Amino acid sequence: MSLIERAGLAALHRLDPERAHDLSLKALSTGLVPLPGKPFTSPRLARRLAGLDLPNPVGLAAGYDKNARVIGPLTRAGFGFVEVGAATPRPQPGNAKPRLFRLTEDRAIINRFGFNNEGAEAICARLAARPRNGVPVGLNIGANKDSADRAADFAHVASLAAPVADFLTINVSSPNTEKLRDLQGARALSALIQGVLDARNASESRPPVFVKIAPDLDERALAELAAVLRDSGIDSAIATNTTLTRDGLASPYAGETGGLSGAPLFELSTKMLARLYRRLGGSVPIIGVGGISSVEQAWAKIEAGASAVQIYSALIYQGFSLAERIARGIDARLAAENTTLADLTGSAADRWAA
């Protein structure tokens, strides 16, 4: 981490977390954040995932650039792929503030934003106008809080986004929209996925469709969900979203409602990833997300079954340079151990799932 980046993070941490988040977006848009310009890549790191060519397997998770306002800078920040959103059909303000909490003692955050965004039309217009530089950009899609038909909301956003996004992520696992996680049930999820796939298939570009799952599923729910993912025709799963658990936290904000992400999520999300990998048997690739803040943790996610990984919360504590540091570290370790990403993926799934 450079001195400039360290000083910038220190300044942001003196501010209210949501204010700091907004200022970081402005800093990116005005060019104040030093960026590498392109993702680090090598023959060892480049891989194809669900029809997407990734220069490296380290992506940005959804939630940072909710309104797709800084896609250009983010694709120059070292990520191998970028996910923006979540987008809902109509704009919505989200939940009341404060709704973002920095748990410094735990290297974590809690958020209860509630899908605050400017609406799918505005977001998709920015996706259409984005620079094309070899870094895939996808959209996380959601439903309005007051919708009478949430499955129809997902399909509507998919129809708008399919022509302009490189991939679509069905987000039925956010804990911050009431009863949204009920859509992870087998029957509801199957119908929802089919609606999104139908909307996707009406587009000439036909981008791959991913489904993001929660880390708090019991074994029965996971088995049902895995069967749906395996049989539905989706292109990838993302494991996992934030958690509602609060085990072992030291921060005075530990009791705040919302989704917990960051370091405390790592073990829980990695175990869920490994359990899902074993149930899918390699039939659907998985993107691992949750608590990654180092090369070693990204490596562990891949060993547990991830074909690629995403980071977000750790950027609050380590800055955007973390993406390139992880990519370079994975590349160096692959070379040192004379192995490949393909051979590494799932090699320790049994151990993590135990």
- What class is the 3-353 domain? alpha beta
Q: What is the pLDDT of residue 326?
A: 98
Closest listed residue to residue 306, CA positions, set 262, 265, 259, 271: 271
Range of weakest confidence among 129-133, 186-190, 246-250: 186-190
- pTM value is 0.97
pLDDT digits (tens, 9 = 90+) for 58-78: 999 999 999 999 999 999 999
Q: How many Cβ atoms sit within 10 Å of the Cβ of residue 220?
A: 8
Q: What is the pLDDT of residue 177?
A: 73
Distance from C-alpha of 336 to C-alpha of 197, rounded to nearest angstrom? 41
Please state the rounded mean pLDDT for residues 75-97: 98
Query: Is residue 181 scored above 70 in pLDDT?
Result: no
pLDDT digits (tens, 9 = 90+) for 116-130: 999 999 999 999 999
Distance from C-alpha of 196 to C-alpha of 182, rounded to nearest angstrom? 17
Query: Is residue 103 scored above 90 in pLDDT?
Result: yes
Q: What distance, in Å, lies between the first and last C-alpha atoms of the chain?
A: 36
Strand-pairing partners, residue 58, are 309
Give the DSSP H/E element, type plus range, for residue 52: strand 52-54
Domain regions of the chain by residue span: 3-353
Q: What is the pLDDT of residue 334?
A: 98
Q: How many Cβ atoms sit within 10 Å of the Cβ of residue 233?
A: 12
200 in helix, strand or coil?
Answer: helix
Q: Percent of the chain scored above 70 by pLDDT?
A: 99
Q: What is the pLDDT of residue 178?
A: 67
19 in helix, strand or coil?
Answer: helix
Please state the rounded mean pLDDT for residues 123-151: 96
Q: Pick 175 or 153 by higher pLDDT.
A: 153
Query: Is residue 266 scored above 80 in pLDDT?
Result: yes
Amino acid identity, position 278: R
Query: Is residue 165 scored above 70 in pLDDT?
Result: yes
Residues that are catalytic:
174
Q: How many Cβ atoms sit within 10 Å of the Cβ of residue 93?
A: 12
| Length of the chain in terms of residues written | 354
